Amino acid sequence: MHFPEIEKDPLQAADHNLVCYKDTYEHFIWQLAQRRIKGGKTGLNIAFETVDRHVDEGFGAQTAIRWLSKQGLQKEISYADLKDQSARFASILQDLGLQPQETVFGLCTRVPQLYQALLGTLKFGAVFSPLFSAFGPEPIRSRMEIGNARVLVTSEALYRKKVQPWRHELPGLQWVLLYNVTQPLPENCYDLDALLEQSSPDFPARMCHPEQLALLHFTSGTTGKPKGAMHVHQAVIYHCISGYYALDLRPGDNYWCTADPGWVTGTSYGIISPLCNRVTLIIDEAEFDAKHWYQLLSEQKINIWYTAPTAIRMLMKAGAELAEEYDLSALRFISSVGEPLNPEAVVWGQKVFNIPFHDNWWQSETGGIMIANFATTAVRPGSMGQPLPGIKAALMKHHKDGTTTRITEANQVGELALHKGWPSMFRGYLHEDERYQKCFVDDWYLTGDLALCDEDGFYWFVGRADDVIKSSGHLIGPFEVESVLMEQQAVAEVGVIGLPDEVAGETVKAFVALKPGYEGDESLRKTLLGHARKRLGPAVAPREIVFRQNLPKTRSGKIMRRLLKARELGLPEGDISTLESDES
């Protein structure tokens, strides 16, 4: 927390959606958010709110999606086009015989067919569940089995490699729709591209009960099988208002969310929220490359950019000089999600883009951004920010007698909790009601994350409840230690864990990956240890630092501390279906 606060110009507040945080938060009522959509309590549909309503209001010609292929081709899809294409997909589902509320899985890369399928599924009234295209066969199969998949949308190549060998194990999977078909169709599969050309574009969005299931997002637990978090059509109210407040989205913006559509961010804020706010989505099929990203930001005149800490650190590794070669003046707001953003990355954004990265916090279970740094409020580097209007947050202390009480003092660590009632809150874990009920104490959802709140209402992430280290009476958050080590120029990534110790209870161990050109020798180890002890004190600083070429991460970029610990102690690794290949 040693980085100074980054102040905002109060004269520019009127140029943003959230002019005054304090007044908006204190006077917010959910009816204000309800007015931003056209549906009501008797019926609504996410697809209608994202696409059809804009066409009905005369904005059909506006570009909804500008798709950039890996080969550099550019395709413009207007809101009218997207309405037509999603209706055609809904017609396909009807012609096949799918029933409303049955589940369609999407195993897709960032291609137009994904957006047509997701919106068409919701328009039809079925449930859509996204899958990460880089998953191996087993995590794909297990999620489709839990979710009782009836339809799968995927490419011919992905199907042959990852699904065809075990498809017979899921008798409930009745229809497989393949795009980009280049060979004779596999048995019991349909050519999606051909069906879209033949199907009817006349399928009005089916108005659903607000509590009807719409989206199924799988999230990995520390142990056991994946959890299917269930979200309903009413979530669109929060998708819309949170994008307006937390990301400063406004009609006509060029908006780029780099999250893969297989994850909840890629759905909530890569598709639904921005389309609700009538922006133009920039969809880039290519993978990360620093020069390519800067070129895209410049050529597409991106106004709002939503990315991840891993990507930001990779850009930092490439050097600030690279950014100076490009015109990035169109950027109005840049934000980060996925894991806590180290304070030096926030400050780096200010230096390179003339605006800081704005961190925010949420989970698959919350369905939307809960805590954020806003365009018009000061940014405290390292802080998650403040609760969005309509969101009531608190910190909870768990006592040995089994009771739980709220923490009222500032700067005290507790479990972050959210008061029930926001529209995008998950309605359960599929087939696991007992697991769901354990997430609540009275009317409070317990997030499993530890945090503290300062005197001004800014929240600071400490760590997952099962990641926090208890050493000699001190409660140590891994993120704090990691951020201090990240201050050193040689360090690219850090993962910190606690190891059992007979005297202290636990000691801190850090795993460090270095930037290119640096050698993990004893001299650098001593430098890092000395820096940590100076900044954190000997009680909190790591006792041991080891260098690794890579750290185990999920495919969405989060460092898997629990996996580091399990490997160190020889413990079961738990669910590693989201693990990105790593080299220890």
The mean pLDDT of 151-159, rounded to a whole number, is 97
pLDDT score of 575 more than 70? no
Domain final position from 429, 453, 477: 453
* H-state helical runs in 163-221: 192-198
The mean pLDDT of 290-316, rounded to a whole number, is 94
Are 377 and 430 contained in the same domain? yes
pLDDT score of 540 more than 90? no
The mean pLDDT of 289-304, rounded to a whole number, is 97
Percent of the chain at pLDDT exceeding 70: 94
The mean pLDDT of 273-297, rounded to a whole number, is 97
The 10s digit of each residue's pLDDT in 109-142 is: 999 999 999 999 999 999 999 998 888 888 888 8
Confidence of residue 299 (pLDDT cuts 50, 70, 90): very high
* CB distance 225 to 142 below 8 Å: yes
pLDDT score of 147 more than 70? yes
The residue assigned the tokens 């012609």 is 95
Are 444 and 491 contained in the same domain? no
pLDDT score of 501 more than 50? yes
Confidence of residue 12 (pLDDT cuts 50, 70, 90): low
Supply the CATH number for residue 368's domain.
3.40.50.12780
The predicted structure's pLDDT at residue 474: 61
The predicted structure's pLDDT at residue 411: 93
pLDDT score of 9 more than 90? no
Query: What does DSSP say about strands 414-419 and 440-441: parallel, antiparallel, or unpaired?
Result: unpaired
The predicted structure's pLDDT at residue 151: 98
Q: Is residue 413 part of a domain?
A: yes
Q: 481: which DSSP letter?
A: H
The predicted structure's pLDDT at residue 309: 86
Give the separation between CA 174 and CA 272, rounded to whole angstroms.
Answer: 27
Q: How many helices (H) and strands (E) does the chain have?
A: 20, 27
Confidence of residue 221 (pLDDT cuts 50, 70, 90): low
Are 109 and 42 contained in the same domain? yes
Q: Is residue 311 part of a domain?
A: yes
Are 471 and 410 contained in the same domain? no
DSSP-derived secondary structure for 513-542:
EEPTT----HHHHHHHHHHHHHHH-TTTS-
pLDDT score of 41 more than 90? no
The 10s digit of each residue's pLDDT in 179-203 is: 999 999 999 999 999 999 999 999 9
Confidence of residue 387 (pLDDT cuts 50, 70, 90): very high
**Minimal CA–CA distance to 219: which of 477, 426, 388, 359?**
426
The 10s digit of each residue's pLDDT in 541-562 is: 899 999 998 898 876 677 888 8
The predicted structure's pLDDT at residue 40: 66
Total tally of structural domains belonging to the chain: 2
Are 437 and 473 contained in the same domain? no
Half-sphere exposure (CA, 13 Å, Cβ side) for 157? 6
The predicted structure's pLDDT at residue 453: 97
Are 427 and 563 contained in the same domain? no
Supply the CATH number for residue 534's domain.
3.30.300.30
Q: What is the pTM of this model?
A: 0.85
Neighbours of 251 (CB within 10 A): 11
Better-scored residue on pLDDT, 150 or 499: 150
Q: Is residue 41 part of a domain?
A: yes
Are 445 and 471 contained in the same domain? no
The 10s digit of each residue's pLDDT in 200-216 is: 999 999 999 999 999 99
Q: Is residue 375 part of a domain?
A: yes
Which amino acid is located at 75 in the chain? K
Q: Is residue 580 part of a domain?
A: no
Domain final position from 427, 453, 479: 453
The predicted structure's pLDDT at residue 429: 97
The 10s digit of each residue's pLDDT in 255-271 is: 999 999 998 999 999 99
The predicted structure's pLDDT at residue 338: 82
Confidence of residue 472 (pLDDT cuts 50, 70, 90): low
The predicted structure's pLDDT at residue 2: 62
Are 423 and 487 contained in the same domain? no
Give the separation between CA 283 and CA 261, rounded to whole angstroms.
Answer: 10
Are 47 and 196 contained in the same domain? yes
Are 379 and 270 contained in the same domain? yes
Give the separation between CA 458 and CA 438, rounded to whole angstroms.
Answer: 27
- Indicate the range of 91-105, 285-299, 453-467 predicted with least confidence: 453-467
3-state class of 331 per DSSP? Answer: coil
Q: Is residue 462 part of a domain?
A: no
Q: 185: which DSSP letter?
A: P
Are 323 and 249 contained in the same domain? yes
pLDDT score of 97 more than 70? yes
Confidence of residue 463 (pLDDT cuts 50, 70, 90): confident
The domain in which residue 519 lies consists of 467-569
pLDDT score of 348 more than 70? yes
Are 347 and 496 contained in the same domain? no
Across all residues in the chain, what is the average pLDDT? Answer: 91
Better-scored residue on pLDDT, 476 or 92: 92
The predicted structure's pLDDT at residue 554: 75
The predicted structure's pLDDT at residue 116: 98
Domain final position from 418, 453, 488: 453
* CB distance 512 to 544 below 8 Å: no
Percent of the chain at pLDDT exceeding 90: 73
The predicted structure's pLDDT at residue 475: 61
Q: Is residue 584 part of a domain?
A: no
Q: Is residue 461 part of a domain?
A: no
